[in-house]
Amino acid sequence: MKTFKLALVSAALASAASAGWAQDKAALIKEFIEIQKPGYELLAQNIAQQEAAPVLAASSRFVQERVPADKRETVAKAGEAEVQKYFDAVVPIIRDKVAQVAPGAITPVLEQEFSAEELKMAIDWMKSSASRKLAGAQPKMVQAIMTAPSMSELESPITTQVKRLDDAMVKALGVPADGGGAANKKAPAKK
């Protein structure tokens, strides 16, 4: 009988500890998500950039190919103003939606992939001065990579591949080739 009572008490303690870990893990997940909130702005900017990329590329190409050289700067500045209006309008919408969706989307991943101890370690790292310093240095590191002299070697192969893609899309979509490219063409009407 003593063994049975001991087993029952042990099971109750294990259950209570497990419930405590679950509560602790839920609190850690909530804290993790809260720490991520400043990153929503960057995510929103990246999404906005991705969505606008075809328009921006086609616009840039248009300015370079069809606008007289003496008017390019003026046209480009007008375009830049419109791009800024786009970002000013769309980034807050995306950021707010990410903030709304993130907790429900991230929580199951964190629950499945991380133990409470791992979440605690991740949170401790994210709160550390080294993590903040690294996050602050990220834009400078990206800028250093992008402005490295040898990065200019990518311009030709990338431009060549973008042109190849544009030409292939014109052909694949059956768009009449008038030099404007596929990025600013509508698909032909279905018959």
Instruction: Report pLDDT digits (tens) over 18-63.
Output: 444 456 999 999 999 999 998 888 899 999 999 988 888 888 888 8
Q: Where are the alpha helices (DSSP H) in 67-154?
A: 72-113, 116-127, 129-146
Find tokens 């679950």 and name the residue.
22
Q: Which helix (H) or strand (E) holds 3?
A: helix 2-36
According to the model, what pLDDT value does residue 3 have? 57
Name which residue leads in pLDDT, 182 or 173: 173
The whole-model pTM stands at 0.61
According to the model, what pLDDT value does residue 122 have? 95
According to the model, what pLDDT value does residue 180 have? 53
According to the model, what pLDDT value does residue 9 have? 46
**Could you tell me the CA-to-CA distances from 146 to 129, 154, 189 in Å, in that order?**
26, 10, 41
Two structure tokens written together for 144:
């250093």
pLDDT at 4 over 60: no
Query: What's the rounded Cα separation, in Å, for the pair 153 and 158?
Result: 9
Q: Is 181 helix (H, G, I), strand (E, B) or coil?
A: coil
According to the model, what pLDDT value does residue 166 have? 79
Mean pLDDT value across residues 154-172: 80
Instruction: Report pLDDT digits (tens) over 88-147.
Output: 999 999 999 999 999 999 999 999 999 999 999 999 999 999 998 998 888 888 888 888
- The lowest-confidence range among 9-13, 43-47, 114-118, 171-175 is 9-13
Neighbouring CB atoms inside 10 A of 170's CB total 19
